[in-house]
Amino acid sequence: MTHPLDRYLRPGMIPHIWCPGCGNGIILNAFLRAVDELGLDQDKIVVVSGIGCMGRVSGYVNMDGLHTTHGRAIPVAIGIKTARPELKVVVISGDGDLFAIGGNHFLHAARRNIDLLVICANNFNYGMTGGQMGPTTPSKAYTTTTPYGNIEHPLNLVYLAASLGAVYIARWCVTHPLQLKESIKRGLTKRGFSFIEVVTPCVTEYGRRNRMGEPREFMRRLREICVIRRGVDPSEAVIEADRIICGEFRDVEKPEFTQLLWDMIREISEKASRGEIEVAL
């Protein structure tokens, strides 16, 4: 017996190591189904991930991929896309990896509008390294490093992406897998910097400390508080204890960095071949 997505997974790497009830498997499934439904050539896709639970994904997919050091998934992806602009480069990693140690890289990749699809699995903490507080941990939430409740203001990731100029922005919970799959399809076919945040439960660390119940209860609660809103300003797309605003928040067009870069290189090469300019080697 075979699974319809088997050809997209590396033999011998499954079953995965994610905890029972973790939503990372749903994100991986949605990504692979999006690739399959679009009929994309998996040899033309590169998946890059960082350190953390979601960082394992680059080793699970049967595509070219890189499991990078902590926080460095995006600069590695930029290097690949710049050298091989014909490839579709996808970054799939966690909130801590992308927005704590890797936050500066996200900022400039979005600002430059580099043709990357970044999928962030937001589980509100550092799930693999002990459940510490991260930049997206909700206010008053309990973690190993906030035993009396988090007093910091969390990042609104979709608002941040919008302020930096991302051309496609969406947020979904893993309890909306069909909407997530369709959103990934849009991100895969979009030219420019696309960002999809996926709220996914960390049942082992975050859920246990915040008394979210068993995985089934956690998922049911998540579905109840996830509210889909169309056309909401990203600044109003909040994540609160009793409400998470989901949906697509931006879909625009603007010049893409690697296209501009290679156009400039070709122009300089043509002028140099005609003797109009001298290029220092």
Give the chain as a 3 state SS string.
CCCCCHHHECCCCCCCCCCCCCCHHHHHHHHHHHHHHHCCCHHHEEEEECCCHHHHHHHHECCEEEECCCCCHHHHHHHHHHHCCCCEEEEEEEHHHHHHHCHHHHHHHHHHCCCEEEEEEECCEECCCCCEECCCCCCCCCECCECCCCCCCCCCHHHHHHHHCCCEEEEEECCCHHHHHHHHHHHHHCCCCEEEEEECCCHHHHHHHCCCCCHHHHHHHHHHHEEECCCCCHHHCCEECCEEEEEEEEECCCCCHHHHHHHHHHHHHHHHHCCCCCCCC
Q: Judge contact between 88 and 119, C-beta under 8 A.
A: no
In whole angstroms, what is the distance from residue 228 CA to residue 248 CA?
9
User: CA torsion, points 204, 207, 209, 211, in degrees to nearest 10?
Assistant: -130
Burial group, residue 217, by CB count within 10 angstroms (0-12, 13-18, 19+): middle
Residue 272 in domain: no
| 224 within some domain | yes
> Pairing mode, if any, of strands 168-173 and 243-251?
antiparallel
Residue 15 has pLDDT above 90, yes or no: no
Measured from the Cβ of residue 159, the count of other Cβ atoms closer than 10 Å reads 17
The verdict on residue 270 lying in a domain is: no
CB atoms within 10 A of CB 86: 7
Residue 181: its pLDDT value, please? 98
pLDDT band at 107 (very low <50, low <70, confident <90, very high): very high
Least confident piece of the model among 90-94, 158-162, 217-221: 217-221
pLDDT at 63: 97
| pLDDT (0 to 100) of residue 281 | 61
Average predicted confidence (pLDDT) for the chain: 94
How many structural domains does the chain have? 1
Q: How many residues does the chain have?
A: 281
Q: Is residue 235 part of a domain?
A: yes
Q: What is the pTM of this model?
A: 0.96
How far is Cα of residue 61 from the mean position of the Cα atoms in its chain? 15
pLDDT tens digits, 183-198: 999 999 999 999 999 9
Q: Is residue 277 part of a domain?
A: no
**Is residue 261 one of the residues assigned to a domain?**
no
The domain in which residue 59 lies consists of: 10-255
Band (pLDDT 50/70/90 cuts) for residue 29 is: very high
Structure tokens of 70?
């902590």
What is the tens place of the pLDDT at every residue in 230-262? 889 999 999 998 999 999 999 999 999 999 999
Question: Is 225 buried (19+), middle (13-18) or exposed (0-12) by CB count in 10 A?
Answer: middle
Kindly state the average pLDDT of the residues 148-155: 96
Identity of the highest mean pLDDT range in 69-78, 199-208, 229-238: 69-78
How confident is the model over 148-162, as a mean pLDDT?
Answer: 97
- 135-139 average pLDDT score: 95
Name the pLDDT band for 275 (thresholds 50, 70, 90). confident
For residue 194, how far is the Cα from the chain centroid? 9
User: Would you state the pLDDT for residue 91?
Assistant: 98
- CATH number of the CATH domain containing 237: 3.40.50.970
Whether 268 maps to a domain, the answer reads no
The reply to whether 122 falls in a domain is yes
